[in-house]
Amino acid sequence: MRADRVFAYGAAAGLLGDLLLGDPRRGHPVAVFGRAAGAVERVLWRDHRGWGALHAVVCAGGVTAFGALAARSVRTSPVACVALTGAATWAVVGGTSLAREARSIGRALEAGDVEGARARLPHLCGRDPQALDADGIARAVVESVAENTSDAVVGALVWGALGGVPGLLGFRAVNTLDAMVGHRSARYRRFGWASARVDDLVGWPGARLTAVLAALAGPDPRGAVRAWRADAGKHPSPNAGPVEASFAGALGVRLGGTLSYGGRVEHRPVLNGRGRAVTTRDVERAVRLSRRVGLLALGASVTARLTARLSARLVAKGRVS
């Protein structure tokens, strides 16, 4: 079976598995990787960029190499190739868990249980929830849904289309390392520098595709494009900026502003200043948009893989003739 068909069938099966099963409560492959990366960190940690780069190479490079060896070991069996691609896709995407956590917080807010929503928020993002009111929590959820649509779904599919199983696993490894050590705390400012920069690099195509698809799938495509063009560059993250701005414009809401991470207050530029303030009902709207973007990303990734193969065949045929 051709590699493009393997990816198409496997990615579709993996997304279906995520939709039906979600993430396991125990023993998730990403959690296992996180524990292993933490163990490597305890051995390698130094307040130095070079040691941080070595940590990234050992962890992300090791997972990518494992994916390549696994794919090579089943290359003679089409069924096994599809199964491996499906399992890898299921392991690295997290659209169902993202939607579940966001909706859980949304339901608590709709019921007036702000304390319950505050208790659930750390399961979704790293914000400090105690100073947030209901609308502030809702804004945090919408921003997290937007960013994680790129990180947990679209980016993985893009790299799966580009690199098969190694691409899927490598992307998730890099993204996980960034979440673990890529922030600007005193401990990780130097050590996590390499992981953060590599994550910026590998996240670039998925973030732009997410922004495009949010504009196409959202209720206000023009608003999404306008906010993306006007405000994406103001965001401190080169990849979160386009995604959050496009989601904000598509949903007609304002994102950004003052937020707090780990006791550190940040004043971020407002995205889509023409929009209204986020309210509780926007949580469900953001989840639905995220779902549509994920399905479109599957179609786009499969189409790109098929088109690339067709183009290569046409080029080869032209050379022969």
pLDDT tens readout for residues 203-232: 999 999 999 999 999 999 999 999 999 999
CA proximity to 30, closest of 65, 56, 63: 63
What is the model's pLDDT at position 130? Answer: 85
Full domain range(s) for residue 309: 3-320
Contact of 126 with 321, CB cutoff 8 Å: no
Angle value at C-alpha 134, between 229 and 136, nearest 5 degrees? 35
220 dihedral zone (left: phi>0; alpha: psi -120 to 50; beta): beta
Residue 288's pLDDT is 98
- Please give the tally of structural domains in the chain: 1
By the 10 Å C-beta count (0-12 exposed, 13-18 middle, 19+ buried), 258 is classed as exposed
The confidence score (pLDDT) of residue 217 equals: 97
For residue 147, the model assigns a pLDDT of 96
Low-confidence ranges of the chain (pLDDT < 50): none
Q: What is the pLDDT of residue 255?
A: 96
Q: What are phi and psi of 256, to 5 degrees?
A: 85, -165
The C-alpha angle with vertex 35 and arms to 239 and 172, in degrees rounded to 5, equals 30
152, 22 in Cβ contact below 8 A?
A: no
d(CA 122, CA 101): 10
The residues with which 266 forms a beta bridge, in sequence order, are 259
Check if the beta carbon of residue 224 is closer than 8 Å to that of residue 246.
yes
CA distance from start to end of the chain: 26
Nearest Cα neighbor of 145 from 229, 300, 251 is 251
